Amino acid sequence: MNNFQRLLSAVVFIGFFLPWVEFTGDMEQMKENLNELMEMLGGFAEESPQYQEAVEQMELLNKMDGATGFDLSTTKFGEIGDSPILFMVPAIALFAGIYNKKKTYIIYPLLCGFCIFVNATFSGPVSTGLGLMLTYASLLIAFCCALGMPKDTDTVLVDKEVSKADCDGNNKGTDEGTDEGSDEGSDEGSDEGSDSGVARSI
């Protein structure tokens, strides 16, 4: 179970560098609306404030398309992005995988989920990218699996019991070998002594 949790932590870390933002089909509709606006304004299109606003919005959306968690941490995309706190997501996941305790596997998905929810909530023609979906799924599975893990103290006790059983088995084998060797040596020595005494009396 611990190795599986470490695998989930690695998925969260990798997902941070995969796309978190993707666009829906509404993107094409926005482009068509922009073209219609240009045709309607004619030669004054480039001077129109509505046109300039639409162009800026399109540039922003094109820039956002395929943005990763790393991009959202370092780059400003309109009202979202430029959130260094998102770096906590891979950092906490990496720490949890190294520390490898039940408590961390319960706490870190909640912390990561909160950081993402507060700093990477999208609206408009934007959908969740592959990286963010993998991150959310891994955090949810890690939290659910952590609830079913034994307590850290129980795990230590089980390990000690297994080690003790192995030691007892080794000691038992050693004792049996020693007893068998001693018995065989004693029997052989007694038999040889008896045979020698009989031969001398004869």
pLDDT tens, position by position, 64-94: 888 999 999 998 877 778 899 999 999 999 9
Say how many domains are in the chain.
Answer: 2
Please indicate whether residue 37 or residue 110 has the higher confidence score (pLDDT).
110
Residue 143 shares a structural domain with residue 81: yes
Residues 67 and 165 placed together within one structural domain of the fold = no
Strands (E) in 15-135, as ranges, are 21-23, 76-77, 80-81, 126-128
User: Residues 42, 108: one domain?
Assistant: yes
Domain identity same for 140 and 174? no
Domain boundary among 109, 133, 149: 149
For residue 198, what is the enclosing H or E element?
Answer: helix 152-201
SS3 48: coil
Distances (CA, A) of 42 to 32, 38, 62, 95, 99: 15, 6, 24, 58, 64
Distance, first Cα to last Cα, the chain: 76
Whether residue 96 sits in one domain with residue 23:
yes
Would you state the structure tokens that stand for residue 200, as one six-digit string? 């001398």
- Of 61, 95, 101, residue with least CA distance to 80: 61
Whether 38 and 8 share a structural domain: yes
Higher pLDDT, 169 or 198: 169
Q: Which domain holds residue 155?
A: 151-202
Reported as a single tens digit per residue, the pLDDT across 165-191 is 565 655 555 555 555 554 554 454 444
pTM of the model: 0.66
If you count them, how many residues does the chain have? Answer: 202
Residues 128 and 180 in one domain: no
Last residue within a domain, chosen from 128, 149, 170: 149
Asked if pLDDT for residue 193 goes beyond 80, the answer is no
With 50 as the cut, is the pLDDT of residue 156 above it?
no
**pLDDT tens digits, 120-134:** 877 666 778 899 999
134 and 161 in a single domain? The answer is no
Cβ–Cβ < 8 Å for 132, 20: yes
Q: Identify whether residues 142 and 157 lie together within a single domain.
A: no
**pLDDT of res. 153:** 60
